[in-house]
Structure 1
């Protein structure tokens, strides 16, 4: 497992990211970028808003303009401690004042009718507040306008993703040792969360345990169902380590599987291997999906593969790019995403196998290394 703590990002790193975002916006014909609390703000500045708040916090980026973070006065001391704070101007506002009047001049400097990219998780009331002050401005989501803003990882980011993947692998190796039969899904799920924490995750995002017929629901929330002998069990878990995501799925079986269960698992494993092997610079994201889907369709289970093949991962566990039909974005070195085909037979069982893959100069590299065969658990 990858060990040690990577060197922290510095103010220079964050300044380079902000400059790149501003220039990318200009190249895309945008007046600038508006970044609300969430993964985009963390990636650009290192600032994690201390709590989910309805008060306006907004980073304004535009080419030729000093990066400015609009922040509530009571949170300004925390914002000033962010690593990237030295690369931007902080402008605070107090309760009782209109934060949109304070923000509007920063947007007006780019023209009253500017079109701005805005992070996807911005609150609607904040955009509406800005539009009241600047009625001719318009907005487009960053996923639509700048989908690859965070999509290509540098060496330091890849190091963190590898460490997160290794910690998830260690978690899987340990969870296989615990009893499954006779225990509730939710109890095994909690054990997964504890293991992720033990192996260095500071944040656990999901620990799915989908047993028997629940395995046919890809996003089944672990509940009170008692795992039984003869169950297929889909495990899907991940979170953040050193600020970067892990996400892996393996399917295990309680006791000996039937011939059909083995066959379905073998088909999914073949599809996942084929899709991982197809990864290389220049092919479209949708081609990864097509490769996996063809294997499953040719085996007669196409209608039971009911989701995309993968999603990007970085400072959040789901982000662009997406491995899905219609996504023509070409793969480039440094992209990281999941490859996770599955087959889901309603009322019976499901199978999913998932690794994080990064695009290299001449192919792809998995960031998960645990065995992909059908593990037998007790």
Structure 2
């Protein structure tokens, strides 16, 4: 069942991303960007070292000048084999060296820098001690759209991840729900994601009956029963890019109220997707979906934002929420996932990933959104 792996990104792809990042830093008035291991480093270089180490690894992208990667000497071989390494100058340091001296030699001693949100405070404080006249701002604050706009090859990977998640959903509908624990169904979902080409499963929410009213319920030992509404929210990484989709199913025939709630969420999700177009504000997507739920009398039970960006992580900017006036531009990818959660009773959520096109939005999840009946 596994799918064909995507063609690898080239050194030129990473070189172009770094150039865009440097230009964004200059536009924001920064001297440069400091990128620690994590999603930003993977996006800019293809290098994915462990983030769980005290040894300093730091990509330095000056607003004007050549990028350098400060890296422990014992990991320099791996760094040199990264697909984007040809765009960088490596600066290895040994355990006998001062890694911060290697890093600060590359920095404007009075500059302001954007730094990865996930950089260790250990490293940031050491840089501040060495260069006390420098200033630092989190990348999600100063350049929140650094990874938001995908090129065509990235879009193809997000679409392929969505298609793989769709295939997993189509198969999970054929398994038995009643009489099985949520955790067992979650394990089935995880296995299906892996079978359809995912390298990593990030979450498998299975919220049955009253557990479905908890949007981030972790699948537990509750036994699914006849008459339960069941929220299925699952995703992970395929070829380095994320999937995330939600469908809500019912074990046996639903009540008229359950159908009404599901139909309301489906209409809200349709309205949110229809609001996607270049130039619209992120908050317009939230407003469109939320208005449907409020008009149906369920406004207090829609308790989260309508959507989040997706790319090399499953949650990243932009966010579809009231107050976010940033305009949508072609290449952005994000979820549209309204929900209604009735405490102690049941919940309903429907989610697709949508890519902004030149004229509107394209859904990257395409399984039926009607209420599916399972056994």
Q: TM-score, normalised by structure 1?
A: 0.97
Contact 1:2-1:166 at 8 Å conserved across structures = no
Report the 3-state secondary structure (helix = DSSP H, G, I; strand = E; otherwise coil) of the residue aligned with 1:66. coil
Superposed counterparts of 1:15-54, under 5 Å: 15-50=15-50, 52-54=52-54
Which residue of structure 2 aligns with residue 332 of structure 1? 329
Superposed counterparts of 1:166-177, under 5 Å: 166-177=163-174
Correspondence 1:214 to 2:215: no
Contact 2:30-2:63 at 8 Å conserved across structures = no
Give 5+ residue unaligned stretches, structure 1. none
Aligned counterparts of 1:369 and 1:146: Cα–Cα separation in 2 = 32
Which residue of structure 2 aligns with residue 349 of structure 1? 346
Correspondence 1:229 to 2:226: yes
Correspondence 1:318 to 2:315: yes
Contact 1:305-1:344 at 8 Å conserved across structures = yes
Q: How big is the shift at 1:27?
A: 0.9
Which residue of structure 1 aligns with residue 63 of structure 2? 63
Superposed counterparts of 1:234-273, under 5 Å: 234-273=231-270
Q: How big is the shift at 1:96?
A: 4.1
Q: How big is the shift at 1:345?
A: 0.8
Correspondence 1:290 to 2:287: yes
Contact 1:2-1:163 at 8 Å conserved across structures = no
Aligned counterparts of 1:322 and 1:62: Cα–Cα separation in 2 = 28
Contact 2:353-2:364 at 8 Å conserved across structures = yes
Per-residue CA shift, 1:140-173, capped at 9, x if unaligned? 1111111111111111111111111100000000
Aligned counterparts of 1:175 and 1:277: Cα–Cα separation in 2 = 28
Report the 3-state secondary structure (helix = DSSP H, G, I; strand = E; otherwise coil) of the residue aligned with 1:6. coil
- Note the aligned Cα RMSD (angstroms): 1.3
Contact 1:11-1:83 at 8 Å conserved across structures = yes
Aligned counterparts of 1:10 and 1:374: Cα–Cα separation in 2 = 43
Aligned counterparts of 1:165 and 1:370: Cα–Cα separation in 2 = 10
Correspondence 1:308 to 2:308: no
Aligned counterparts of 2:149 and 2:289: Cα–Cα separation in 1 = 23
Report the 3-state secondary structure (helix = DSSP H, G, I; strand = E; otherwise coil) of the residue aligned with 1:260. helix
Report the 3-state secondary structure (helix = DSSP H, G, I; strand = E; otherwise coil) of the residue aligned with 2:55. coil
Report the 3-state secondary structure (helix = DSSP H, G, I; strand = E; otherwise coil) of the residue aligned with 1:240. strand
Which residue of structure 1 aligns with residue 75 of structure 2? 75
Give 5+ residue unaligned stretches, structure 2. none
Q: Displaced runs of 4+ in structure 1, greater than 3 A?
A: 1-5
Per-residue CA shift, 1:189-214, capped at 9, x if unaligned? 11101000000001111111111111
Correspondence 1:11 to 2:8: no
Superposed counterparts of 1:118-267, under 5 Å: 118-267=115-264
Q: TM-score, normalised by structure 2?
A: 0.98
Q: How many pairs are equivalent?
A: 375
